[in-house]
Amino acid sequence: MAVLKKDDLMKLVLDKVKDDTSDEAIKFREDVTDTIDSMTVSDGVDWHQKYTENDSAWRKKYADRFNEPSGSKKDSEPALPDPEPEPEPDEKPLEYDNLFGAPAK
């Protein structure tokens, strides 16, 4: 698929429409012209440069993650506390009556 300049595209459109002066043909030419013009209007931002800078910054951040010695992260999360030790099992297993507070016999 070729990308044409505005003049070349308009020539193709005019060749297809030729001398048709119907409302549809005029609207078609107008729509094509307006569409091309809206694509070429710049908002004053060099988006390619902006994308390149952003991409470069993120790549550097990603690479720096692996280049820092472990434990030197400024924003590292605090260490988790040691888990509590498992309680030691009771020497005497509980009986059914002891579970619900019934007096031991």
Q: What is the DSSP letter of 1?
A: -
| Distance of alpha carbon 36 from alpha carbon 12, whole angstroms | 13
Q: Which amino acid is residue 47, in one-letter code?
A: W
pTM of the model: 0.36
Q: What is the DSSP letter of 22?
A: S
Chain centroid, CA 23 distance in Å = 44
Q: pLDDT by residue for the chain (105 residues), tens digit each? A: 677 888 888 888 888 888 888 999 889 889 988 888 877 766 777 778 899 999 999 999 999 988 877 655 555 566 777 778 777 776 777 777 777 765 555
Q: In the chain, which residue ranges form alpha helices assigned H by DSSP? A: 6-17, 23-40, 47-67, 96-99
